[in-house]
Amino acid sequence: MAKQFRFNLLIKKERAMLSEAVSFLNSYAKYVIVLTQIIVLFVFFIKIILDQTVIDLKESIDQKNQIILTAKEMIENNNTIALKLNEIETIINGNDFYYQTLKSILSNVPRSITINTISLAKNRFFLEGESEKHLDIQKMQIRLTNKVKKKVIVEHISKKGGIYYFKINILDEEQKS
C-alpha cells in the first residue's frame, strides 16, 4: 500500500508570529529608541540646569560669606574707633571740667593775692600763695565757695615779715562724699 502523504502548504503559525514580531520591531522599535533618547536628553538637560543652579547658589553663598567677613572687620574697626572716641570724649570732658574750674578759681582771686603754685590731684586743686592782708584770704575763701561751688578749705596760714602765706585745698563737692 502506498503511503499517504499530506502536504500542508500553509505557513506555520509560529513562524508567522515570529515574522510579525520582527516586522513590529523593525517598524516601531526605532520610535521606542528615539523616544528613549529624547527622554535621556531631557533628563540630561534637567541635570545640567540643576547642577548650574547649585553652582550659582554656592557662588552666591561664597560671595555673601565674603561680604559678611568684610563687614565683620569693618564693624570691629568701627567698635574700636567708637571706644577710642568715647575715651577721648571722657578725657576732653574731664579736661574741660578742670579748665572751667581753674578758670573760675583764677577769676575769683582778688588782686591783692599772689598765687605762687597751683596743683591738681584727683578732683582737688591746691593753691599756695601770699597776701599782705589776712582778710583778703578770708574773702577769697568765701568768694570761691560761693562762685565756684566747691568746698574751699584753708589748710595753712603763716606770717613772715608782714606777708601771709597760705595753702588752700579746693574739693569737688560731688567727689568728697
What average pLDDT does the segment 95-116 reach? 81
Pair 18, 94 in one domain? yes
- Range of 92's domain? 10-100
- Cβ atoms within 10 A of the Cβ of 81, count? 10
Final residue belonging to a domain, choices 66, 81, 100: 100
Model confidence at 23, pLDDT cuts 50, 70, 90, reads confident
Pair 112, 90 in one domain? no
Final residue belonging to a domain, choices 44, 66, 100: 100
Q: What is the mean pLDDT of the chain?
A: 83
In angstroms and rounded to an integer, the radius of gyration of the C-alpha atoms of the chain is 54
Pair 113, 85 in one domain? no
Pair 90, 124 in one domain? no
Pair 62, 128 in one domain? no
Q: Is the pLDDT assigned to residue 176 strictly greater than 50?
A: no
The pLDDT assigned to 91 comes to 87
Cα→Cα distances 27→21, 24, 30, 32, 78, Å = 10, 5, 7, 10, 77
What average pLDDT does the segment 70-82 reach? 91
The pLDDT assigned to 13 comes to 55
Lowest mean pLDDT across 82-96, 143-157, 162-176: 162-176
Final residue belonging to a domain, choices 55, 83, 100: 100
